[in-house]
A and B are shown apart, each in its own frame.
Chain A
Amino acid sequence: MLVLTRRLGESIWINDDIRIVIQSIRGNQVRVGIAAPKEMVVHREEIYQKIHQENKEAVSSDSSEMKTVRDLFREMKVAESSSQKLEN
């Protein structure tokens, strides 16, 4: 990993189109400004990892579980339609 030391207000360019600026430093918190083309996706690591993880978990699982899931959705549909009947 390339490690660079920067002071407050100084920046780093990556290629010709990404600029990273140290905007403020307070204790152990650093505020970083990122100017990048819009197709460039920027996320905080922990949020990125969370979605990443959730997507992996969301890959369709065993079909035996799907039976229960379908039943749950069916029960929900029944509940909805019976309440509509009551209103009518």
Chain B
Amino acid sequence: MKIESKRFGMLEVMEDCILLLNGGLLGFSHMTRFVLVDDQEDPNLPLKWLISVDDPEYGFLVTDPGIFFKDYVFDLSEDDRREIGASTEDDITVISMLTIPADPRRITANLRGPLVFNNRTMTGKQIILENTGYATKHYIFIQTADTEAATVAKASAAVPAAKIVGAGDTTNTDVKTHA
């Protein structure tokens, strides 16, 4: 199928390349179908555009968070795993959305709300990490940002992989059961 927008021009999209995000993106729940395309100006860069098939004027810059945050780990709940139909780790792809502020050198990755998808079935969702040290803004180019940025990045690298549920602190402990 063809999708066309002012921003990205004309794109020829194969049906089986369409990424279906359950529940859409928070704040954009009307958009559930996306395509991941290389940057047209420089396809070799480790960034891609997540373009809405439903409204192709909307595109989000995304990257592989593993490139910038080597220790980035989180637990995918059984429910989420089942929802995207992933049986093994190899099925799962994680991407992070990038936000470009007025000073583009201070570009940040959202590690709190990653997109996970099953790369076999092309079904995924945006998950929100609970009980984690990861934030919605982590600088990805530390060398160009100030010390505050370096601190943020260090703090994120030190986050333990395991999610602690039901331990001690009752303030932030959530247990969700299913009816």
The chain A residues found within 8 Å of chain B, CB to CB, are 17-19, 24, 26, 29, 31, 33-39, 41-44, 47-48, 50-61, 65-66, 68-70, 72-74, 76-77
B45, A17: Cβ atoms closer than 8 Å: no
A72, B175: Cβ atoms closer than 8 Å: no
| Interface residues of chain B: helix, strand, loop or mixed (majority) | loop
A29 → chain B, closest Cβ, in Å?
Answer: 7
Which residues from A are CB-within-8-Å of B49?
60
Residue B110 is within 8 A (CB to CB) of chain A in the complex: yes
B110, A77: Cβ atoms closer than 8 Å: no
Given A34-B176, A55-B110, A77-B45, 4 other A-B residues pairs in contact with their CB atoms under 8 A: A51-B113, A55-B113, A69-B47, A69-B107
Q: What per-residue 1/0 map shows which CB atoms of B20-46 lie under 8 Å from chain A?
A: 000101111000000000010110111
B141, A58: Cβ atoms closer than 8 Å: no
Instruction: Pick the interface stretch among B9-17, B92-100, B155-163.
Output: B92-100
Selected contact of B60 from candidates A44, A53, A58, CB within 8 Å = A58
- Contacts A47-B128, A51-B26 hold; do A65 and B104 have CB atoms under 8 A apart? yes
Which residues from A are CB-within-8-Å of B44?
77
Residue B91 is within 8 A (CB to CB) of chain A in the complex: no
